[in-house]
Amino acid sequence: MNIVITGGAGFLGRRLAETLLARGVLGGTDGRPQTITRLTLVDVVSSTGLDDPRVRQITGDIAERKLLEQAIDAQTTSIFHLAAVVSGQAEADFDLGMRVNLDASRHLLDVCRLLGHRPRVVFTSSVAVYGGALPATVPDDLALTPQTSYGTQKAIAELLLNDYTRRGFVDGRALRLPTISVRPGRPNAAASSFASGIIREPLNGEPAICPVSPETRMWLLSPRTAIECFIAAHDIDGARLGSNRMINLPGLSISVRDMVAALERVAGKDVAARVRWEPDPRIAPMVATWPGELAASRARELGFPRDSDFDDIIRRYIEESGVLQAR
């Protein structure tokens, strides 16, 4: 089986690739585990250090249909569609967001449709599909009122995925991801970038600016649990999902103040003191429109993996990144 990961050079794409290569198997279209013979990563750049004969890397503009036709071939049974322009960037460059978050998703679904064998498509959507005046806990059946172009484009791609699934063109699953924390590496253009930065930078001995108020409630998911959710979503029987393929993944609801308090508990007062509170008028209003907590009832019923608490997420990040040993 050929598995395709778009955004394969990104943090989550790369981590998913490594996890799949280590597992060696993934559920086939009949539900039984199949041996992974090829893993195709599609991105604007190639991922370095992935020396595995099963890996094929294709680089280019994902909004070009030809690139997707090259990546998604007759042997492709599973696609993880992670490629996206992040929230801050899609807000700053409307046309780029439409191209990558909407046009590329539609091309991908159309290329899958032409295969004729109904591949499984796991699409990473976002809680940014919600927005505006929200209840304290967002139920699964609340109307989508995105307040960003990013959230709009994700909501549209979800609707397409659902209809392509209903028509039997693909077997889709759209996962609304909480904010991923703690991401390793450097800050990015996502408005949510600080949700990793305020943990990662202090652990690296660097100052970090928190651009939102301490009371801001975040809905978080660790990278490890996110990858587990992608695979769980892929392997679940489509019949259990029925005609609605949108799934709010279960996250942790925690205020930014409590995130920093957790950092203090795990890494000490000096580390936590490196966080400076400076509300940013470009970021705070955007983050304020995202939900701080979702019921995620359906995902819980379906038994999706969950994080236990944020202290544990920080401890795992320290362990995986080796950050404290390195200093």
Residues that bind its own copies (CB under 8 A): 94, 132, 140-147, 149, 152, 155-156, 159-160, 162-163, 166-167, 243-244
Strand, coil or helix: 42:
strand
User: Which two tokens mark 219?
Assistant: 């809905």
Nearer to its own copies, 144 or 232 (CB): 144
User: Which two tokens mark 218?
Assistant: 């975040």
Nearer to its own copies, 39 or 144 (CB): 144
- What residues are labeled active site? 150
DSSP annotation string for 284-326: HHHHHTS-S-B--HHHHHTT------HHHHHHHHHHHHTHHHH
Nearer to its own copies, 22 or 143 (CB): 143
Cβ proximity of 150 and 126 under 8 Å: yes
Task: Provide the minimum distance between the beta carbon of 156 and its own copies in the complex, in angstroms, as a whole number.
Answer: 5
Which is nearest to 106 in space by CA: 174, 158, 42, 157?
A: 157
Task: Provide the minimum distance between the beta carbon of 162 and its own copies in the complex, in angstroms, as a whole number.
Answer: 7
Please count the other Cβ atoms lying within 10 Å of the Cβ belonging to residue 304.
20
Phi, psi of 32 (to 5 degrees): -85, 145
Nearer to its own copies, 199 or 299 (CB): 299
Phi, psi of 170 (to 5 degrees): -140, 175
In angstroms, rounded to a whole number, what is the distance separating the alpha carbons of residues 19 and 10?
14
In angstroms, rounded to a whole number, what is the distance separating the alpha carbons of residues 156 and 148?
12
Cβ proximity of 249 and 299 under 8 Å: yes
Task: Provide the minimum distance between the beta carbon of 143 and its own copies in the complex, in angstroms, as a whole number.
Answer: 5
Please count the other Cβ atoms lying within 10 Å of the Cβ belonging to residue 199.
28
Strand, coil or helix: 327:
coil
Nearer to its own copies, 142 or 323 (CB): 142
Q: Decide the pairing of beta strands 120-126 and 25-27.
A: unpaired
Q: Fill in the amino acid letter for 256.
A: V
Nearer to its own copies, 112 or 266 (CB): 112
Residue with tokens 């599973």: 78
